[in-house]
């Protein structure tokens, strides 16, 4: 196992400098499971405080310059003012997430609901989110539909796909030239028989039908156990239809745990396909977003830790000796090929990342820097009163 040479380390550091990870506003707020939402001290009470916390994460990591919003959780009177506030805190407003999964009318579906009035209501919300994008300057509209059925026969699977396609078409046609529609899939929950966008193939097919401004989102918690997610990454990248990630990790289902915490090797394999596909830099157009819920752990440190986990997996992926790998693959040397990847994965990249942060004028240890910053003590005091933000479910 050879240590990476200086030229390799410089190449890797250069690539890591361009990494951009978007944090989700809702991960700064209260969240939980159907059993319990445990409130925490210092939790934001409004979108401005969520954005301020995202600003701290970027200040300490240097690679998290945007925060995704979720509507209506982050509805404000003046989105331009929120964007200006975000700018004052060193971040920009990122993807706009629509929410057609919490209104009573959506019990039997939103855009796929048998009732045309309910479908209209849902589509109008999607269009409202594009209006909001016009004011926040966001590029991406992210669509996840909880739509599905719980029992065979409950509704017509084919007819629901027609309704979905109609809603997506109307929304797609409303997009501006520089705007995108990101379609997210999920195997199950809250539907437990058939989900209308259950897998990457369904999302891919709808995006192909829509056009070039429609791309697929891979949420790493939305697959059947044992799914080879990096295969989906490689396939969609090759097809030019990978738009974004919702990073998190899980031991069982959609656990929304810190990315890289449950399966760091899987995250490495995913980031290796990104590197192999030359899709890491912002110009490649992939949005790397976190989508997590910190039900019991301190929220801001958990998000900092998650950003560091993505950086570490990326640094390891960038260390893969591509020439040695290609040679081993060409000669059919299975063990040698696997060893090239494992050598990179087994490299301790923390010193390299600490050096990069020092180069960027940052504290080499963002977790320790946050603990020393006194920010938590300040917000714990400032945010004592008022209603804490959450999913409002």
Return residues touching ligand LRH (CB under 6 A): 26, 97, 144, 184, 186, 219, 246, 254, 291
- DSSP label at 5? P
Given ligand LRH, Mn ion, none, residue 139, with its beta carbon under 5 to 8 Å by kind, binds none
Q: Does 312 bind Mn ion (CB under 5 A)?
A: no
What is residue 140's three-state secondary structure? Answer: strand
Encode 253-295 in three state secondary structure.
Answer: CCCCECCCCCCHHHHHHHHHHHHHCCCCCHHHCCEEEECCCCC
Q: Does 22 bind Mn ion (CB under 5 A)?
A: no
Residue 244 or 352 with smaller CB distance to Mn ion: 244
- Residue 73 touches which of ligand LRH, Mn ion, none (Cβ within 5-8 Å per kind): none
Between 73 and 375, whose beta carbon lies closer to ligand LRH? 73
CB of 311 to ligand LRH, least distance (A): 22
CB of 143 to Mn ion, least distance (A): 11
Which does residue 155 bind out of ligand LRH, Mn ion, none, counting CB within 5 to 8 angstroms by kind? none
| Shortest distance (Å) from residue 17 CB to Mn ion | 27
Choices 174-182, 228-236, 291-299, 311-319 (CB under 5 A): range interacting with Mn ion:
291-299
Which of these segments, 35-43, 232-240, 243-251, 323-331, binds Mn ion (CB under 5 A)? 243-251
Distance between CA 315 and CA 271 in Å, rounded? 9
Among residues 246 and 312, whose Cβ is nearest to Mn ion? 246
From the list ligand LRH, Mn ion, none, which binds 254 (C-beta under 5 to 8 Å, kind-based)?
ligand LRH
Q: Report whether 299 contacts 377 (CB < 8 A).
A: no
Beta carbon of residue 124, minimum distance to Mn ion (angstroms, whole number):
23
Query: Considering the complex, what minimum distance in angstroms separates the CB of residue 105 from Mn ion?
Result: 22
| Interaxial angle between packed helices 200-210 and 157-174, expressed in degrees from 0 to 180 and rounded to the nearest 10 | 50
307 forms beta bridges with: none
Residue 219 engages Mn ion in binding (rule: CB under 5 A):
yes
Q: C-beta of 367: minimal distance to ligand LRH in Å?
A: 25
Give yes or no for a cis peptide into 72 (omega within 30° of 0).
yes
CB of 220 to Mn ion, least distance (A): 9
Residue 255 CB, shortest distance to Mn ion, in Å, is 12
- Contact partner, 110, from ligand LRH, Mn ion, none, Cβ < 5-8 Å per class: none
Nearest residue by C-beta to Mn ion?
246
Query: What is the number of other CB atoms lying within 10 angstroms of the CB of residue 239?
Result: 12
Site for Mn ion in 245-274 (CB under 5 A): 246
User: What tokens were used for 91?
Assistant: 């971040």
Q: Measured from the CB atom, is 62 or 221 closer to Mn ion? A: 221
What is the spatial distance between Cα 140 and Cα 151, in angstroms, rounded to a whole number? 34
Q: Are the C-beta atoms of 302 and 34 separated by less than 8 Å? A: no
- Select from 22-30, 123-131, 215-223, 336-344 the region that touches Mn ion (CB under 5 A): 215-223
Concatenating the DSSP letter of every residue in 62-125 gives SS--EEEEETTTT--S-HHHHHHHHHHTT-EEEEEEP--SSSGGGTT-STT-SSHHHHHHHHHH
**Residue whose CB is less far from ligand LRH, 188 or 376:** 188
Q: Point out which span in 107-115, 189-197, 263-271, 283-291 binds Mn ion (CB under 5 A).
A: 283-291
Tell me the residue nearest to ligand LRH as measured from the CB.
144
Provide, rounded to whole angstroms, the least separation between the CB of residue 259 and Mn ion: 12
Least distance to ligand LRH, CB of residue 372, Å: 31
Nearer to Mn ion, 59 or 146 (CB): 146
Strand-strand pairing, 287-290 and 21-24? parallel
* Count of beta carbons in the 10 Å neighbourhood of residue 368: 11
State the Cα–Cα distance between residues 327 and 316, nearest whole angstrom. Answer: 20
Q: Extract the tokens encoding 216.
A: 């697929």
Residue 291 interacts with Mn ion (CB under 5 A)? yes
Q: Could you give the residue ranges of the DSSP H alpha helices within the chain?
A: 6-17, 47-61, 79-88, 116-136, 157-174, 200-210, 229-238, 264-276, 299-318, 322-330, 334-345, 350-359, 366-373, 375-382
Interaction site with Mn ion (CB under 5 A): 219, 246, 291
């Amino acid at each position: 196992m050879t240590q990476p040479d200086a030229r390799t380390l410089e190449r890797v550091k250069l690539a890591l400098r361009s990494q951009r990870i978007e944090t989700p506003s809702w991960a700064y707020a209260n969240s939980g499971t159907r059993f319990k939402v445990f409130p925490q001290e210092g939790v934001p009470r409004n979108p401005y405080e969520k954005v301020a916390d995202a600003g701290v994460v970027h200040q300490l990591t240097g690679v998290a310059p945007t925060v995704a919003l979720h509507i209506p959780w982050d509805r404000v009177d003046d989105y331009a003012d929120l964007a200006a506030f975000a700018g004052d805190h060193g971040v920009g407003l990122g993807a706009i997430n629509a929410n057609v999964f919490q209104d009573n009318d959506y019990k039997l579906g939103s855009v796929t609901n048998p009732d045309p009035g309910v479908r209209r209501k849902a589509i109008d919300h999607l269009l409202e989110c594009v209006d909001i994008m016009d004011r926040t300057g966001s590029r991406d509209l992210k669509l996840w539909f909880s739509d599905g059925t719980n029992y065979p026969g409950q509704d017509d699977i084919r007819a629901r796909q027609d309704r979905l396609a109609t809603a997506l078409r109307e929304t797609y046609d409303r997009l501006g030239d520089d705007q995108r529609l990101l379609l997210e899939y999920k195997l199950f929950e809250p539907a437990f028989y058939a989900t209308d966008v259950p897998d990457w193939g369904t999302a891919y097919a709808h995006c192909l039908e829509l056009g070039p401004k429609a791309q697929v989102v891979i949420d790493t918690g939305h697959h059947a156990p044992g799914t080879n997610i990096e295969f989906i990454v490689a396939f969609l990248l090759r097809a030019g239809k990978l738009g974004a990630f919702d990073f998190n990790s899980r031991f069982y289902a959609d656990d929304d745990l810190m990315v890289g915490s449950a399966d760091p090797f899987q995250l490495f394999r995913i980031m290796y396909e990104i590197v192999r596909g030359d899709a890491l830099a912002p110009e490649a157009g992939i949005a790397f977003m976190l989508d997590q819920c910190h039900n019991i752990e301190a929220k801001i440190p958990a998000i900092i830790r998650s950003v560091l986990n993505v950086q570490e997996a990326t640094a390891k992926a960038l260390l893969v000796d591509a020439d040695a790998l290609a040679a081993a693959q060409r000669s059919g040397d299975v063990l040698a090929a696997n060893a090239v990847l494992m050598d990179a994965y087994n490299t301790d990249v923390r010193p390299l990342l600490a050096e990069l942060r020092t180069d960027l004028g940052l504290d080499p240890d963002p977790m320790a820097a946050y603990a020393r910053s006194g920010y938590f003590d300040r917000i714990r005091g400032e945010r004592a009163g008022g209603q804490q933000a959450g999913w409002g479910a």
